[in-house]
């Protein structure tokens, strides 16, 4: 992978470079938000690891701008701000994953590699575009179009939609989404799936309280609801 590391603390940035290079990846390090936005436009970039508190442009602003320019780029936020509200804000802002400092080195590498794998779910397994609820879902470009409105989706949100569509004949449990989309253990006690689906519904459903595309199956998980 080609990984963009955005971290203003010199020692940590250098440590992350060594960590990912030793895992066999090519690393592009930058120390401020504006440089991050510039380098994120590289079409050869695979994943961004983004600090939240940065000089010249805050991490959330970098996230928003990058989502506008590269909606399909997997982004992991790596930050000391670990309160639930901070995590929710990061995920709702477009992050695909959120890791709090201090972190496990092995877990961080595994999460970044999992993001890359999930973003690479074969587009040959599902159509690139789907007509849903009088709208157009573009799985290839991670976009949702309703009328003149274009909504950018994160790589993880797109992967959820793709997985539900591929298994539209049944309900998909939260544990399965954790394993297949997050590439982590399905027995983890976490609300990450529900939080991500709630944010996704805000983007694509006419009425997020009465969803028709990503529907809840009581006691099981979620299912593809679009005809």
pLDDT given at position 195: 92
pLDDT given at position 205: 95
Spatial contact of 224 and 214, defined as CB atoms under 8 Å apart: yes
Task: Give residue 178's domain range.
Answer: 123-224
Order of all β-strands in the sheet with 214-217: 172-173, 221-224, 214-217
Spell out, as residue ranges, where the chain has pLDDT lower than 70. Answer: 119-127, 227
Write down which residue in 119, 153, 177 finishes a domain: 119
Q: What is the DSSP letter of 125?
A: G
Query: Quick one: 30 exposed, middle or buried, by C-beta within 10 A (0-12, 13-18, 19+)?
Result: buried
pLDDT given at position 122: 43
Indicate whether 132 and 115 sit together in one domain: no
CA distances in angstroms from 76 to 1, 182, 194, listed in the order given: 14, 12, 18
Instruction: Say which CATH number the domain at 149 has.
Output: 1.10.10.10
Indicate whether 133 and 189 sit together in one domain: yes
Total domains in the fold of the chain: 2
pLDDT given at position 71: 81
CA dihedral for 27, 124, 141, 75, sign (positive or negative): negative
167: three-class secondary structure by DSSP? coil
Indicate whether 69 and 153 sit together in one domain: no
Indicate whether 28 and 10 sit together in one domain: yes
Indicate whether 22 and 111 sit together in one domain: yes
pLDDT given at position 120: 62
């Amino acid at each position: 992978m080609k990984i963009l590391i955005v971290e203003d603390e010199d020692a940590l940035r250098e440590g992350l470079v060594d960590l990912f290079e030793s895992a066999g990846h090519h690393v592009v390090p930058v120390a401020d938000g504006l440089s991050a936005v510039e380098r994120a436009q590289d079409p050869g970039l695979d994943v961004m690891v983004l600090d939240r508190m940065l000089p010249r442009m805050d991490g959330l602003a970098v996230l928003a701008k990058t989502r506008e320019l590269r909606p399909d780029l997997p982004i992991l936020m790596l930050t000391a701000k670990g309160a639930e509200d901070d995590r929710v804000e990061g995920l709702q802002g477009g992050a695909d994953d959120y890791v709090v400092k201090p972190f496990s080195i092995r877990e961080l590498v595994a999460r970044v590699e999992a993001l890359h794998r999930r973003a690479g779910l074969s587009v040959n397994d599902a159509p690139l575009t789907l007509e849903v609820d009088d709208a157009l879902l573009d799985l290839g470009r991670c976009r949702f179009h309703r009328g003149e409105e274009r909504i950018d989706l994160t790589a993880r949100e797109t992967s959820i939609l793709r997985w539900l569509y591929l298994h539209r004949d049944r309900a998909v449990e939260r544990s399965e989404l954790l394993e297949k989309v997050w590439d982590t253990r399905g027995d983890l006690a976490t609300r990450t799936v529900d939080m991500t689906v709630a944010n996704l519904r805000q983007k694509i459903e006419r009425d997020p309280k009465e969803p028709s595309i990503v529907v809840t199956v009581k006691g099981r998980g979620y299912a593809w609801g679009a005809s």
